[in-house]
Structure 1
Amino acid sequence: MHTRSKAIVAATVAVVVVALVAVLVVRGVIWPNRLLAAQYEVRGVDVSSYQGVVDWPVLAGQDVDFAYVKATEGSGFVDDRFAENLQGARDAGLLVGAYHFFSFESPGRSQAEQVIATVPADEGLLPVAVDVEHYGTFFRDPPDPDKVRAELEVLVATLREHYGVEPVIYATQAAYSRYIVGGFPDSPLWIRAVYLPPRVSDGRDWAFWQYSHRDRLDGYDGEEPFIDVNVFRGDLADLRELRSDG
């Protein structure tokens, strides 16, 4: 076979392999971070109504130790599966917490009131997590960092006072660099980094790492076929120490 023909065949094979890998990644069959995340022994999921009805015993039986369930968003939205997910995950024996999706469009105080009205201050729950990420038009036109930080500080301080524990802060790496860096030193950090290990701009250690947003597990049936999967840096005893005393 001529050298040129061999090169064409090799290039064709390479293209086919890359395309096959891309398809498997898109379908969640393989994921870049799984091997890296496997070194951490405590694994968890985060869910919302998009996962539909969750069979928590089935989900918990797949090497899942903890769950964060969506509770609220902004100042006026409550996830319609929150109460069922919270109770179901607890009944399945998981360590459980609620998360709030932070809105750039409403005051921190009213967002805190929405969380407090929805999430019980029960003994044994993991700290409320505040999800800070860009959305909608804010990807192209991010809001002013100082204004966001001021509202976020009010939200975090109010939740800390009410629940008696430091809220967790979840952030994409872009949102961390814009709104979190240098602040909230006592809040456990939850970083979304789905292609490579988390690297935040100030070198701060993370407590939780969302390493995949396209996993498939048994036990849920909603419009979203994928589920977010996370690890915790520490063992189960360390995770339990984060819980509220009620």
Structure 2
Amino acid sequence: MLAAVIAAAGLAGGIAHADPAPTAPRLNPNDPNGAWAGYSVEGSRDAQPRYRPAGAVSGMDVSGHQGDVDWPKAWADGARFAYVKATEGTGFRNDRFGQQYDGSHAVGMIRGSYHFGLPDRSNGADQANFFVDNGGAWRHDGRTLPGALDIEYNPYGEACYGLDPVAMSWWIADFSNTYHARTGRFPVIYTTTNWWNRCTASNPDFAPNNPLWIARYAPDIGPLPAGWHYQTIWQSSNKGSFPGGQDVFNGSNKQLKRFTS
């Protein structure tokens, strides 16, 4: 669908600041590395509203802003998984990454890393490669979550980074496909419903492959971005029992373990 949209728009060159034209997303709902690992908790995949399911697993996400994290305390307080910021754009590395990524692993957490995307700085492939080369690689070890792309409102300028919805969709596809080629997994997409529907024009094409990490600071999850019928992770607050973001995996510990495979 995305390829057809782009052809109709006449944007064969892809996105601003891109060198090679990115490929369209690979849409394969039967891909074992795809977005199978979200679990509908209401019995109907379109049921609303969505709340924390019974037995869901608590977790957290951190960046350099949290500094050195007391991981034994986070574990004692109930966190069982963590996402750690690794990179941003093609020039920023989290200087606390080692303490955070290795420390969460050392206390027994399942952990992964995330990249903050800056689509106005460089193309998606370059940023995905920078991410993989600086902490974003996925390991088939039963303890590593697939890498995540944090794509949301631009903290440095125009909300959609100066890209129209077709160009933004190309950029995300470029990042996603490159990450998949490097690691064998499609990245999790962290976003908000409002940003996604505004900046990709409600593009549904990523849902079959990319697990959703939804950010919504409210008692319930609310409507999901276009295309997704369930979330894999819900970030419900940036204040709570653990440092950084407060997250909930939409499934059991056993299902969380499966998500690493």
Structure 2-normalised TM-score? 0.72
Q: 2:236 matched to 1:211? A: yes
- Summarize deviations over 1:167-215 as a string: whole Å, max 9, x none: 1111011222132631212111010011242312436211111111222
Q: SS of the residue aligned with 1:211? A: strand
Contact 1:188 1:207 in 2 (8 A): yes
- Taking the aligned partners of 1:236 and 1:150, their CA distance within structure 2 comes to 35
Deviation at 1:121, TM superposition (A): 3.8
Partner of 1:100: 115
CA distance in 1, matches of 2:55, 2:125: 36
Q: How does 1:223-242 map to 2 (within 5 A)?
A: 227-242=244-259
The structure carrying a bigger strand percent of its residues is: 1
Distance 1:127 1:197, change over 3 A: same
Give the letter aligned to residue 88 of structure 2: E
Task: Indicate the residue corresponding to 2:203 in structure 1.
Answer: 181
Match of 1:139 in 2: 159
CA distance in 1, matches of 2:181, 2:259: 15
Task: Name the one with the larger helix percent.
Answer: 1
**1:194-240, Cα deviation, whole Å (9 max, x unpaired):** 124231243621111111122254xxxxxxxx621010111111111
C-alpha deviations, 1:114-169, integer Å up to 9, x for none?
11111244333100010010123223875311111111111111111211122111
Structure 1 runs of 4+ with >4 Å offset: none
Equivalence for 1:89: 104
Taking the aligned partners of 1:59 and 1:38, their CA distance within structure 2 comes to 21
Structure 1 residues 140 and 233 mapped into 2: Cα distance closer, same or farther (>3 Å)?
closer
> How many residue pairs are counted as aligned between the two chains?
202
> Which consecutive unaligned segments of at least 5 residues does structure 2 have?
1-50
Match of 1:157 in 2: 177
Write the distance in 2 (CA, Å) between the matches of 1:201 and 1:117: 29
Other-structure match for 1:58: 73
Residues 51 and 38 (structure 1), Cα distance of their counterparts in 2 relative to 1, 3 Å cut: farther
Q: CA RMSD in A?
A: 2.1
Separation (CA, whole Å) in 2 of partners of 1:92 and 1:144:
43
Q: How far apart, in 2, do the equivalents of 1:87 and 1:121 lie?
A: 14
Inter-CA distance 138–68: structure 2 relative to 1 (3 Å threshold): same
- Normalised by the size of structure 1, how large is the TM-score? 0.76
Once the two structures are TM-superposed, the CA of residue 83 in structure 1 deviates from its matched residue by 1.8
Contact 1:89 1:96 in 2 (8 A): yes
Question: For residue 221 of structure 2, what is the aligned residue in structure 1?
Answer: 197
**Distance (Å, rounded) in 1 between the aligned partners of 2:132 and 2:260:** 16
**Paired residue for 2:91?**
76
Is contact 1:214–1:227 with CA below 8 Å preserved after alignment?
yes
Greater displacement, 87-96 / 190-199? 190-199
For 1:199 and 1:163, how far apart are their aligned partners in 2? Answer: 31
How big is the shift at 1:40? 4.8
Q: Identity of counterpart residues, as a percentage?
A: 31
**Alignment partners' CA distance in 1, 2:251 and 2:138:** 24
Cα distance in 2 for partners of 1:92, 1:134 equals: 33
